[in-house]
Structure 1
Amino acid sequence: MIKSILAMALALAVPAAAAEPTQGVSGSEIAIGTYTDLSGVSAMWGVNNSNSWRMVFDQVNADGGINGRKIRYIVEDNQYQVPRSVQAANKLINRDHVFIMVANAGTPMNNAVMPDQIAKGIANIFPLTSARSMYEPLNHLKFGLGSSYYDQVRAGLKYFIGQRGKKRICTMAQDTDFGRDITDGVRDQLKAQDMALTGATLHRPTDTDFSASVARMHDAGCDLLVLGTIVRDSVQIIGAVRKTGWNVDMMGAAAAYDEAVSGVPGEVTDGFYAMTPMLFVAETATDPKVKAFSAGYRKEFGKEPNFAAQIGFTGAEVVALALKKAGKNLTAESFISSLEAIKDYQDIFGSPAISFSPTKHQGSNQSFLCVVKHGRWQPVEAEPLGY
């Protein structure tokens, strides 16, 4: 009995072990990191997107921070290259000790970095890619914001087959993880509709001459080209098609939905279609919130926001909301739980509602079909499409 009482007394006298500190979170700061393309082939995406994340976080800090903490936002240039992304992620995680990583750019880059990143308990939130691997297979540290490339092309292809009578479908895609997501979507939708792929070509992201590939697709008799391309290769393929005088419909995914594609001089890209998880509305906005976003962006960065900037703004707003709801005791677990509790979030741009749950880490799988007319993107259908 005496021994038992003595053991209890000793146990009570020993202080409880201090909880492990959460990386990137102090009493006054939350460190958040991004690696993105600031000087490579997709810099028009990376620069504008990270600008909006910074703008939102700067405003959060100006308003007093989140639950007493200011956000320290660190952005590294990956030049759309895998080795640079690995280097940047290593710095952000091991030297800057970030709490989470957001808006990391590029499908192959995220796929290369994520295994080690996730193993270290650093969440990958709303990367600047719509690849399915950003949220599949389900992992409590992986979240995608909107519809995937796979979702986009399946929905768009279903529309073109059902509404436009397309029968001979071909793909021209990058030979990358990104391009494979596009071709997987095409093949699965064709299989669902008991159809087969008519033709396909693959290219490197740095390729510039597509005359031979276009000739092959022309000879195959394609009546719809689904492009697994970003900006530069989209413009080059469209230009190569136009040069031959071939009047074939072409559709891309969100990676091609950019003013650098729509605004090519001479209206070369007029008639090109793209699927997008949200509509670009800042340029012609009448909504006061969108106008305020555009004005703030112009004031801070000296230029108009593009589509990638809109994505960044929405993503940053959702992250800020989840951080706030996580409360003062911010941990990876409390942040993830708060993010999973977000339901039917509506951004200022009229995008499909964003919702998460413990078993659903993709905000939305709906997307809009748009077409270039007179150098500008215009929606084809008022409502988003699914499959």
Structure 2
Amino acid sequence: MRRTIRAVAGMLALLASFTGLRAQTVRGVTDTEIVIGTYTDLSGVTVAWGVNNSNAIRMAFDEVNARGGIHGRRIRYIVEDNQYQVPRSIQASNKLINRDNVFLMIANGGTPMNNAVMPDQLAKNVPNMFPLTSARSMYWPYHRLKFGLASSYYDQMRAAVKLLVEQRGKKTLCAMYQDTDFGRDVMEGVRDQMKAMNVALAAETAHKPTDADFSAAVAKLRDAKCDVILLGTIVRDTNQIVAAVRKIGWDVPLMAQVAAYDSAVAEVPGGVTEGLECMTSVLFVGKDDPRPAVQAFQKGYREKYGRDPNFAAQIGYSAAQVLIEGLTKAGRNLSLDSFVAGMESIRDFNDIFGSPPMTYGPNVRQGSNQSYVAVVRAGKWQLSVEKPVGY
């Protein structure tokens, strides 16, 4: 009898050890927490994006933790500063993956940074969720652990070309873009849509991110008699190019993408950027937005961080909400496979800001490829086209 009891006890202990070992094989997940990481710019040239974006994500996680977590697990969120540099991103990623043992990473900052880190990250089965870049490589080519949030630079410029040619009758399209991974991604969308519509660029110029004098480039495009200029630019070079165009009295329309969709562009003194249009994956909502959920978000952000949320904060909050939805749908028995299945079951997710509905599936890793068209009016971004557009 004693032998039987001892044998049963031994079997139970062995079973418990196997169960514990099985639970431990899910990196970053215990019975009480989920570890999530981010590397982003907290002190470099894109600090306004990195800090506000990660702050809003932390706020969303704090809110869900205050409600008891996700299936009883609280989120532990770790953010590392990459200073918008590739070497720092690799260092930060190594820490998050190998020391902090994160389950997944969200909103990693920068196109070249993500491209450099992702091969090792994905090889270690760490999902890359909603990077803080609109580059197409964040979701394409397909990988089961790569998820993009909304329309990419590529999508935005394809939709812009289609809109300008088909609905506005533009015939002499030109482009100015950064000679970087970002700028080339923008131009890939321009070229692919032009090829699909049998249209050719009349002229184009490429510049370094540090260039400041655009007078010669603008003169070249004016000589080409462009009737619209597509911009693969961010904030500083957008403002400088628009100023150079207006300085010579040229009233040509200009169309940018979400990297230029910033208050610092709309609010240039003297109304320099008045009339500039921009394709954007989501709309920035101001302090006067009356929707209760938006008001609650803005109030909570101000109370927590002592400043108004910017566009990057809004994107971060939406990304966190989609992630929370995926984790919730994964169920209590959280694993890599159940998480992927949970994300793939999301249909027509609507954030609080009125972004295009986001849907994922077995072969769908981008929530939406629809884009809004915004225009600068009286120092603010306003809707230029009522509904989101695509191609």
TM-score under structure 2 length normalisation: 0.92
Distance in 2 between residues matched to 1:227 and 1:37, nearest whole Å = 24
- Give the aligned partner of residue 280 of structure 1: 284
Matched, 1:99 2:125: no
> Shift in Å at residue 217 of structure 1?
2.0
- Give the aligned partner of residue 266 of structure 2: 262
2:386 is matched by which residue type in structure 1? A
Q: 1:157-176 to 2 correspondence within 5 Å?
A: 157-176=161-180
RMSD of equivalent CA atoms:
1.9
- Give the aligned partner of residue 351 of structure 2: 347
Distance in 2 between residues matched to 1:361 and 1:313, nearest whole Å = 19
Picking from 234, 237, 257, the partner of 2:241 is: 237
Point out where structure 1 has 5 or more consecutive residues left out of the alignment: 1-10
Q: 1:192 to 1:247 in 2, by over 3 A?
A: same
Matched, 1:200 2:200: no
Picking from 310, 327, 331, the partner of 1:327 is: 331
Picking from 189, 200, 221, the partner of 1:217 is: 221
Q: 1:300 to 1:211 in 2, by over 3 A?
A: same
> Shift in Å at residue 12 of structure 1?
11
1:273 is matched by which residue type in structure 2? E
> Shift in Å at residue 385 of structure 1?
0.4
Distance in 2 between residues matched to 1:111 and 1:284, nearest whole Å = 38
Q: 1:92 to 1:13 in 2, by over 3 A?
A: closer
Between the two proteins, what is the percent identity of the paired residues? 60
1:341 is matched by which residue type in structure 2? S
Matched, 1:138 2:127: no
Distance in 1 between residues matched to 2:153 and 2:38, nearest whole Å = 21
Point out where structure 2 has 5 or more consecutive residues left out of the alignment: 1-10
Distance in 2 between residues matched to 1:51 and 1:13, nearest whole Å = 44
Moved more, 196-205 or 332-341: 196-205
Distance in 1 between residues matched to 2:59 and 2:324, nearest whole Å = 12
Q: 1:3-152 to 2 correspondence within 5 Å?
A: 17=18, 18-19=21-22, 21-152=25-156
Distance in 1 between residues matched to 2:350 and 2:117, nearest whole Å = 30
Q: 1:23 to 1:86 in 2, by over 3 A?
A: same
CA contact (8 A) 1:85 1:109 kept: yes
TM-score under structure 1 length normalisation: 0.93
Q: 1:37 to 1:215 in 2, by over 3 A?
A: farther
> Shift in Å at residue 216 of structure 1?
2.2
1:102 is matched by which residue type in structure 2? I
Matched, 1:182 2:179: no
Q: 1:265 to 1:334 in 2, by over 3 A?
A: same
1:270 is matched by which residue type in structure 2? E
Distance in 2 between residues matched to 1:251 and 1:268, nearest whole Å = 15
> Shift in Å at residue 13 of structure 1?
11
Q: 1:371-382 to 2 correspondence within 5 Å?
A: 371-382=375-386
Distance in 2 between residues matched to 1:365 and 1:274, nearest whole Å = 15
CA contact (8 A) 2:372 2:385 kept: yes
Q: 1:41 to 1:327 in 2, by over 3 A?
A: same
> Shift in Å at residue 103 of structure 1?
0.5
Distance in 1 between residues matched to 2:225 and 2:92, nearest whole Å = 45
Q: 1:73 to 1:81 in 2, by over 3 A?
A: same
Picking from 293, 300, 320, the partner of 1:296 is: 300
Q: Deviations over 1:249-280 (max 9, x none)?
A: 11111111111111111111111110011111
Distance in 1 between residues matched to 2:91 and 2:208, nearest whole Å = 23
Distance in 1 between residues matched to 2:286 and 2:125, nearest whole Å = 36
Which secondary structure does the structure 2 equivalent of 1:89 belong to?
helix
Q: 1:13 to 1:57 in 2, by over 3 A?
A: closer
Q: Deviations over 1:159-210 (max 9, x none)?
A: 1112222111122111222111110111111111211111222222233332
Moved more, 16-25 or 121-130: 16-25
2:185 is matched by which residue type in structure 1? D
Q: 1:226 to 1:342 in 2, by over 3 A?
A: same
After superposing on structure 2, the runs of 4+ consecutive aligned residues of structure 1 that deviate more than 6 Å are 11-14
CA contact (8 A) 2:231 2:257 kept: yes
Distance in 1 between residues matched to 2:306 and 2:143, nearest whole Å = 39
- Give the aligned partner of residue 372 of structure 2: 368
- Give the aligned partner of residue 249 of structure 1: 253
Q: Deviations over 1:355-382 (max 9, x none)?
A: 0001111101101111001100011111
Distance in 2 between residues matched to 1:77 and 1:127, nearest whole Å = 15
CA contact (8 A) 1:282 1:305 kept: no
Moved more, 232-241 or 106-115: 232-241
Distance in 2 between residues matched to 1:103 and 1:215, nearest whole Å = 39
Q: Deviations over 1:298-340 (max 9, x none)?
A: 1111121122111111110111121122222211111111011
CA contact (8 A) 1:35 1:104 kept: yes
> Shift in Å at residue 386 of structure 1?
0.8
Which secondary structure does the structure 2 equivalent of 1:84 belong to?
helix
Q: Deviations over 1:229-250 (max 9, x none)?
A: 1112211221222222221111
CA contact (8 A) 2:329 2:345 kept: no
Aligned length: 378
